[in-house]
Amino acid sequence: MRAASRSTVRDVVVVDGVDAEMYLHGQVSQDVDDMAVGESRLSFLLEPRGKIESLFRMTRSEKQQYLLDTEAGHGELLLSSLGRFKLRSKVEFVALRWTMISVLGQADLSLARNVEVTAASTWPGTEYVDLLGEAPSLDLPECSNEEFERLRLTMGLPVIGKEIMVGDIPNETDLLDIAVSFDKGCYRGQELVERIDSRSGGRRLIRRLESDGALRPGDELGFEEKVVGEVLTITNDAPYVGFGRLRADVEAADGPESQRINVASVHQATI
């Protein structure tokens, strides 16, 4: 695609200090202790019982500093939850409200200005990057809200506050492969994640949907006269793509990599 951009507001928490690596590694679901400077990873922060408090991207910006960015409106909970078990750890947290320019396609990033952090997009199979800072700038054509949302629903990930909610079970987000490490030591909420995973995973999973017919958020999806899920987010115009929450035993049409459900093979239970 030709290069384009989309500017959005992001809540950011900067984690700094000599204990930053050790502290984060014991709190979040993702590995922290082997991250290189400049590397980004998706991660959950869970309550002790294992339910989601935050979903964020973590970028190691310096040797003893990490930048966590999440959806606007979710930074306050991330900040308060992170600091809950600080005790005597030598780590500090700073909350910021930054702008993020998502660069879609190939662009000369040397022309960007006022960028504090360049982070790789967490969207699978893409080489997009996000430029974060107080007031970053890059002269590129900008996607409309509708264009960017269609791109996210086609190629991107479910996000907290839209498809994923605070209090959800991480195993039902279908993001464990990219947001959870099963090789690290203990972290907050680990017991629930591993117990459900050992029992064949969550009962309902977020899956990407595609449909020839119009759908609306909240529409039920049925199979063999049973309701098997519901539409969470969907585009306003054809071709219709989005995310739904479906029973885990509903098979994805294109295999585990895309996790895409053709709604025609399921059917709308209500319109």
Q: Would you kindly state where each structural domain of the chain is located, as residue ranges? A: 4-155, 203-271
Residue 225: its pLDDT value, please?
77
What residue spans of 141-265 are helical by DSSP H?
145-155, 176-179, 190-198
* Residue percentage of the chain with pLDDT more than 70: 92
**What letter would DSSP give residue 137?**
B
Assign 271 a pLDDT band (cuts: 50, 70, 90).
very low
Residue 224: its pLDDT value, please?
75
Give dist(CA 51, CA 34) in Å, integer.
Answer: 25
3-state secondary structure of 155: helix
Q: Are 130 and 8 in contact (CB under 8 A)?
A: no
Domain 4-155 classified CATH 1.10.30.50? no
Q: Name residue 126's amino acid.
A: T
Contacts of 18 (CB under 8 A, 6+ apart): 64, 90, 91
Assign 255 a pLDDT band (cuts: 50, 70, 90).
very low
Q: Is the link from the previous residue into 136 a cis peptide, with omega within 30 of 0?
A: no
Give dist(CA 149, CA 162) in Å, integer.
Answer: 12
Give dist(CA 270, CA 267) in Å, integer.
Answer: 9
What sign does the CA torsion over 159, 163, 168, 169 have?
negative
Residue 252: its pLDDT value, please?
52
Domain 203-271 classified CATH 3.40.50.300? no
> In the numeric block, which tokens belong to residue 91?
């780590």
Strand ranges of the sheet holding 220-223, from the earlier edge strand across to the other edge: 220-223, 226-234, 240-247, 204-211, 260-262
Give dist(CA 20, CA 167) in Å, integer.
Answer: 26
- Measuring CA to CA, how many Å separate 5 from each of 92, 123, 127, 234? 32, 15, 13, 22
Return the exposure string of 25-62: e unless at least 16 CB atoms fall within 10 Å of the residue's CB, then b: bbbbbbbbeebeeeebbbbbbbbeebbbbbbbbbbbbe
Model confidence over 30-66: pLDDT tens digits? 999 999 999 999 999 999 999 999 999 999 999 999 9
Give dist(CA 260, CA 267) in Å, integer.
Answer: 14
Residue 226: its pLDDT value, please?
83
3-state secondary structure of 141: coil
Residue 260: its pLDDT value, please?
62
> In the numeric block, which tokens belong to residue 154?
């086609």
